[in-house]
Structure 1
């Protein structure tokens, strides 16, 4: 997951959005925009404020958000708030430290099944039942859904009626990096908020405050397409300006070692960015993700276009349980062929 910012280091562009949203009325919000812009962090900040013992809706509390000191804030910090229901794929719950339902945890521990990459309909039904209960702390309840596009149609339909007519004092915040994948009926029942892109200088300053070396911050921010959360994830995954710069020419040589320890989704993402940059250079424009000097000589437009279509098809199946070694060799081999083609 790309939205990994903790509340205590909330960057200024998210703090400004939090203040704007807390100053508005509504029971269901949809935070939408490209991934890596802080949807999860902003959603968590909203529910922290809604449930905070000291949040009273005044201008001062709206500007501040959650106090960070009361019992409610502490319960959210330790992922154990009785009035907060978090709906995520089980893989995301595990990555972000949220506890799974007892039966789900038992099934996974006993290897009866793998952690789900979708929001399970059973979890949604539990959330609907949760919304109908009385608030434990008397401050209302909140449901956080992230990433919302991981609801399939059955799961989304289980949420519709409750989202339209919430029982009691319950608020919803859905966060997504792919709003177009949501059912129109889900989108229409929420107040939409388009995530703001941060200023480059602010993003670089924030990345350096997260211990990303200055020499790496600018390169990784470009590599992430200007999305600071994704840049931070790359840095924490061991990538640097040097390792990113090696990718284009290594791929042109067919060298798979440049992707050592990368997840398959990361490999495909990097190849798509490389293909994009070569296409725009071929058209006389400036590359976005890689430095111009790091790119190999441009292949033919026909070969690059064909490769782009292949990568688009690969994205749709990248999470399937293929043999990762064979898949990596295949991806790099096809890339090498495309990059060295003159036809």
Structure 2
């Protein structure tokens, strides 16, 4: 397994500031794509590092290496199983066996079994003597039972354990959990700072600015678009392709990603129709059709689709239906 990538400068800066904070629980919050997970992992690395530098974890000692290879005895990653697999964290033996035996699919929620394991971990003695860390991400994926189990631990924390919760939807967390954490709002980097970083990550300069706009100014989300194969040219063609009813424009999207993309098209069209400025696309990229009434109805329809997008009955049919409804809205005649 390769080491985790060096964090973006604005993430490293926040980690330096937060590493000296007192308290047993820290809540990192902000929109997706701002680096909550990266910051949470940087903090865990710094708190557990054996040779801490002024910039945080040294990335050379045995502790930092153990985090890189996902074997640190004093770090517990409390994530949904789908996210654990994506980020290369090992599942528990029981969970891995159930999935391997096809008894169930990886969970998109943080399961109560995993929470019980985290609580048991928090009560153990530190293996390396530098305390313990429980990293919870995305914290909004806890259901009510799981969240209440965590709440009891936050109310009476065992010694030598720190919790870092990272969320992209803080409003979905229990107010009692939020009240027991020191809260930190993720910093938005300046466009120039984000563009420099994106180019350093291998995104061509011609694509970086367009994809940063496509991601609403969120650099990690822009990098995700680039790594998914999006280019500036391909992105600019999306709205008119949707207006033509071209389903292939969503071919590489998961259902949630497809809904998100269509919401961006709809948002920008509504902005233009009401005298505003588009946020995700250039004005010339947008089709001419679509009444305000039809676009508003389409927006409400997409909001409904968003709630069930994680579990569609048939992905291909869902994508076809999404594009068909989009085309209908975009071809509504202007009065």
Cα distance per residue 1:62-85 (max 9 Å; x no partner): x31001111100000100000110
Are 1:23 and 2:14 matched, yes or no? no
Cα distance per residue 1:19-42 (max 9 Å; x no partner): 110122111000000010000000
5+ residue gaps, structure 1, are 1-5, 56-60
Q: Please, which of 213, 222, 228 is the counterpart of residue 219 of structure 2?
A: 228
Q: Please, which of 140, 146, 151 is the counterpart of residue 160 of structure 1?
A: 151
Q: Which position in structure 1 is the counterpart of 2:105? A: 114
Q: Which position in structure 1 is the counterpart of 2:120? A: 129
Q: Which position in structure 2 is the counterpart of 1:146? A: 137
CA distance in 1 between partners of 2:184 and 2:260 (Å): 26
Report deviation, 1:158: 0.6
Q: Number of matched residues?
A: 332
CA distance in 1 between partners of 2:211 and 2:291 (Å): 28
Q: Which position in structure 2 is the counterpart of 1:47? A: 44
Cα distance per residue 1:155-208 (max 9 Å; x no partner): 000111211221110000000000000001110110000000010001001000
Aligned residues of 1:7 and 1:41 also touching (Cα < 8 A): no
CA distance in 2 between partners of 1:131 and 1:163 (Å): 11
Are 1:245 and 2:242 matched, yes or no? no
Provide the secondary structure at the position in 2 that maps to 1:64.
Answer: coil
Provide the secondary structure at the position in 2 that maps to 1:30.
Answer: strand
Q: Please, which of 82, 87, 99 is the counterpart of residue 91 of structure 1?
A: 82
Provide the secondary structure at the position in 1 that maps to 2:308.
Answer: coil
1:1-343 to structure 2, matched below 5 A, reads 7-55=4-52, 61=53, 63-342=54-333
Aligned residues of 1:222 and 1:290 also touching (Cα < 8 A): yes
Provide the secondary structure at the position in 1 that maps to 2:77.
Answer: strand
Displaced runs of 4 or more, over 2 A: 6-9
Provide the secondary structure at the position in 1 that maps to 2:235.
Answer: helix
CA distance in 1 between partners of 2:314 and 2:211 (Å): 28
CA distance in 2 between partners of 1:115 and 1:161 (Å): 26
Give the structure-2-normalised TM-score. Answer: 0.97
Report deviation, 1:7: 4.8
Query: What is the root-mean-square deviation of aligned Cα atoms in Å?
Result: 1.0
Report deviation, 1:286: 1.3
CA distance in 2 between partners of 1:165 and 1:53 (Å): 27
Aligned residues of 1:49 and 1:66 also touching (Cα < 8 A): yes
Aligned residues of 1:7 and 1:45 also touching (Cα < 8 A): no
